[in-house]
Amino acid sequence: DNLRSPICCIMGHVDTGKTKLLDNIRRTKVQDAEAGGITQQIGATFFPVEAIKQKTARLAETMKLEYRLPGLLVIDTPGHESFTNLRTRGSSLCDIAILVVDIMHGLEPQTLESLRLLRQKKAPFVVALNKIDRCYGWKAMPDMPIQEALKHQNEHVIREFEDRMKSIIVEFAEQKLNAEVYWRNKDLARTVSLIPTSAISGEGVPDMLMMLTRLTQERMAKSLAFVDILQCTVLEVKVIEGLGTTIDTILVNGSLEEGATIVVCTLDGPVVTTIRSLLTPHPMKEIRVKGEYIHHQKMKAAMGVKICAQGLEKAVAGTQIYVVGPDDDVEELKDSVMSDLTGILDSVKATRRGVMVQASTLGALEALLEFLRTCDPPIPVSCVNIGPVHKKDVMRASVQLEHQPEFGTILAFDVKVHSDATELSAELGVRIFTADIIYHLFDQFTAYMDNFRMARREEFAEVAVFPCVLKILPNCVFNKKDPIILGVDIEEGILKIGTPLVVPSAGGFLVGKVGSIEREHKEVDRAKKGASVAVRIDNEGSVMYGRHFDHKDKLVSRLTRQSIDALKENFREDLQKEDWQLVIKLKKVFDI
């Protein structure tokens, strides 16, 4: 029964109490850290089985719980960032998730986003219905199992609680999910368990730990079997005084020991190095002690560990670490360690034009690229990088300015921008957008693109000529010379104000420019195929209707190479397929 600790992450909408809940679970044993020995690890908190036993003691009597797990590792970064960024060879790093829902607000946008992720990854999860202490008149029963706490409440409090819970069950049903409060849930596999909690006073927290233990032991024993194959994911790269560059990692499976040779993925290629030390912080109360870390000879999964070694400066967060065993081929391991990164870099290399994308980790970069690929319209990406934005990144992005200036931009997702990069970008005219939520980045960029396109369209409105063929109506000639005013049928294309009109049959001489268009006595700025309109044609010269041309002649918009290019680049979506076919036809007329 050699199980490893399951890895759990906490997700949910902002302000639902994710961090508070984490603090509450953690807080329980900070005062007497020896008893339960909950330790704050690198990027995660480890709860040994003793701590869970103590916390769930009052429940265990009635629930007949057996504990087969060594403990529980809760990732500290709340939210779906940890879910997308941390992958273990293609699968998500987390075994199980706690989805925090505010009982006062129900399912909110980020909750739905988290649900989408959980279902996509087929990850098991429980729902913490948090903030029950906000029910009017709630009596706090610190750290008590929830069913006991409910027995101490007034009837109107229980009524409000039941009503709010019912409406949330309905909201889950709208998302095509069955949900039920956990003690009424008969089918753990098909129904989501709701666990009412209060992160402030701790009611329901024992129930949550108990459910996590039950779910993982009963439904996930296979995937939690400890294997001696190393699975270790880089969380982040940190420079620490006295230690140099270190990497924070989550050891998912297998073990690491001091002096082992490891292969790490960096932006400059694979690095083979030796583990100088494996560190974890002291149990919480001693974190202020000098020599802040405990050294370990060997660490076994699942744990959060800091690794010190040389050559880690450019390690890529979100990638795997490999240990070189006695029978391993180092070159093969180098290829495997780089495979995640090279896959992404190759997919981007193909496009020459596009924005530059930077993200904090490989997973974040993948999530962002996937989002840009599938958004409407898709946003092309010309180059990517992982880590903070430096001067050289601005230089790379500025290459786009001469061909397609709108793509001279950097989308920086969850990374810092160095001040020298900011200065250079202002100087060169490269735009840098930063955000730590993908949508915000996308919204900023699309707003910028819309403004950019509008400005370009205004700039090229004079140059771009829309294609059209007009038939003159002989009974509707209102003025024969400057300005010529005629009634016309639009046989093909689009007629716009400012369009230069020529008579192809008479050698293509210029009649003049459209000054105004009237349809059913109303002025319009454009009219399409099939419409009958009156046009005023302003002309400088002495062109006269009846003398130089008449109703037997067609009027056609005069296209040039420049006007067609301006049309293609800035007004593509204004023209239908048949309008483009007309452009091709007119190119022959004008020998373009």
Residue 271: domain span: 231-340
Q: Residue 145: is its pLDDT beyond 80?
A: yes
Pair of tokens at residue 195: 């666990």
Boundary of a domain, candidates 340, 372, 393? 340
Do 434 and 529 sit in the same domain of this protein? no
**Residue 225 falls inside a structural domain:** no
Do 257 and 166 sit in the same domain of this protein? no
Do 21 and 157 sit in the same domain of this protein? yes
Does the predicted model carry a pTM greater than 0.85? no
Do 128 and 66 sit in the same domain of this protein? yes
Do 389 and 365 sit in the same domain of this protein? yes
Dihedral sign computed on CA atoms, order 571, 577, 578, 583: positive
Q: Residue 255: is its pLDDT beyond 60?
A: yes
Q: What is the pLDDT of residue 41?
A: 58
Q: List, in sequence order, every beta strand (DSSP E) within 160-216.
A: 178-181, 191-196
Collapsing DSSP to helix, strand or coil, 375 comes out as coil
Q: Give the count of beta carbons closer than 10 Å to the beta carbon of residue 195.
A: 24
CB 265 within 8 A of CB 319: yes
Boundary of a domain, candidates 404, 430, 459? 459
Q: Residue 90: is its pLDDT beyond 60?
A: no
Dihedral sign computed on CA atoms, order 562, 568, 570, 575: positive
Q: What is the pLDDT of residue 37?
A: 53
Q: What's the whole-number mean pLDDT along residues 249-268?
A: 89
Pair of tokens at residue 192: 């989501």
**Residue 226 falls inside a structural domain:** no
Q: What's the whole-number mean pLDDT along residues 478-496?
A: 92
CATH of the domain at 451: 3.40.50.10050
Q: Say how many residues make up the chain.
A: 592
Boundary of a domain, candidates 406, 435, 459? 459
Looking at per-residue confidence, does 82 or 364 come out higher? 364
Q: Which helix (H) or strand (E) holds 323?
A: strand 321-323
Q: Which helix (H) or strand (E) holds 306?
A: strand 303-308
**Residue 585 falls inside a structural domain:** yes
CATH of the domain at 483: 2.40.30.10
- Give the residue carrying structure tokens 């620490």: 240
The 3-state secondary structure of 204-256, one letter per residue = CHHHHHHHHHHHHHHHCCCCCECCCCCEEEEEEEEEECCCEEEEEEEEEECEE
Longest CA pairwise span in the chain (Å): 107
Give the CA count within 13 Å in the CB-facing half-sphere of 249.
Answer: 34
Cis omega (within 30 of 0) for bond into 566: no
Dihedral angle over CA of 365, 366, 368, 374, nearest 10? 160
- Report the alpha-carbon distance of residue 146 to residue 149 in Å, rounded: 5
Residue 365: DSSP 8-state: H
Dihedral sign computed on CA atoms, order 476, 479, 480, 481: negative
**Residue 381 falls inside a structural domain:** yes
Collapsing DSSP to helix, strand or coil, 540 comes out as coil
Among 59-73, 111-125, 283-297, 562-576, the minimum mean pLDDT is found in 283-297
Do 322 and 443 sit in the same domain of this protein? no
DSSP class per residue in 368-431: HHHHHHHSSS---EEEEEESSB-HHHHHHHHGGGGT-GGG-EEEEES--B-HHHHHHHHHHT-E
Q: Give the count of beta carbons closer than 10 Å to the beta carbon of residue 240.
A: 13
- Report the alpha-carbon distance of residue 460 to residue 159 in Å, rounded: 65
Looking at per-residue confidence, does 250 or 501 come out higher? 501
Q: What is the pLDDT of residue 1?
A: 58
**Residue 2 falls inside a structural domain:** no
Do 326 and 372 sit in the same domain of this protein? no
How high is the mean pLDDT of the chain?
Answer: 86
Instruction: Quote the percentage of the chain above a pLDDT of 70.
Output: 92
Q: What is the pLDDT of residue 579?
A: 93
Collapsing DSSP to helix, strand or coil, 346 comes out as helix
Q: What is the pLDDT of residue 356?
A: 94
CB 82 within 8 A of CB 75: yes
Q: What's the whole-number mean pLDDT along residues 409-434?
A: 94
Give the CA count within 13 Å in the CB-facing half-sphere of 288.
Answer: 1
Do 74 and 205 sit in the same domain of this protein? yes
Question: 117: which residues sit within 8 A by CB, 6+ positions away?
Answer: 11, 80, 83, 84, 123
Q: Residue 556: is its pLDDT beyond 60?
A: yes
Q: What is the pLDDT of residue 89?
A: 44
- Report the alpha-carbon distance of residue 412 to residue 419 in Å, rounded: 14
Do 254 and 186 sit in the same domain of this protein? no
* pLDDT tens-digit series, residues 284-334: 434 344 457 888 898 887 788 889 999 998 888 878 898 988 888 889 989
**Residue 312 falls inside a structural domain:** yes
What total of structural domains would you count in the chain? 4
Do 52 and 132 sit in the same domain of this protein? yes
Do 236 and 274 sit in the same domain of this protein? yes
CB 369 within 8 A of CB 381: yes
Dihedral angle over CA of 552, 557, 561, 566, nearest 10? -170
Q: What is the pLDDT of residue 282?
A: 64
* 298-to-45, 220, 235, 309 alpha-carbon distances in Å: 19, 26, 19, 15
| 113 closest CA partner among 73, 92, 84, 75 | 84
Pair of tokens at residue 14: 């902002």
**Residue 369 falls inside a structural domain:** yes
How does residue 350 score in pLDDT terms, banded at 50, 70 and 90? low
- Report the alpha-carbon distance of residue 157 to residue 132 in Å, rounded: 10
Pair of tokens at residue 557: 């918009």
* 325-to-257, 320, 584 alpha-carbon distances in Å: 12, 16, 66
Q: What's the whole-number mean pLDDT along residues 512-540?
A: 93
Do 369 and 325 sit in the same domain of this protein? no
Q: What are phi and psi of 457, to 5 degrees?
A: -65, -40
CATH of the domain at 68: 3.40.50.300
| 407 closest CA partner among 399, 416, 419, 395 | 399
CB 160 within 8 A of CB 135: yes
Q: List, in sequence order, every beta strand (DSSP E) within 145-188.
A: 178-181
> Which residue(s) pair with 489 in the sheet?
471, 532
Pair of tokens at residue 591: 């020998």
Q: Residue 169: is its pLDDT beyond 80?
A: yes
**Residue 345 falls inside a structural domain:** no
Q: What is the pLDDT of residue 86?
A: 53
Q: What is the pLDDT of residue 310?
A: 92
Q: What is the pLDDT of residue 300?
A: 81
Q: Based on DSSP, count helices (H) and strands (E) in the chain, helices before strands.
A: 16, 32
CB 311 within 8 A of CB 244: no
Alpha carbon 506 to its chain's center: 59
- Report the alpha-carbon distance of residue 203 to residue 101 in Å, rounded: 15
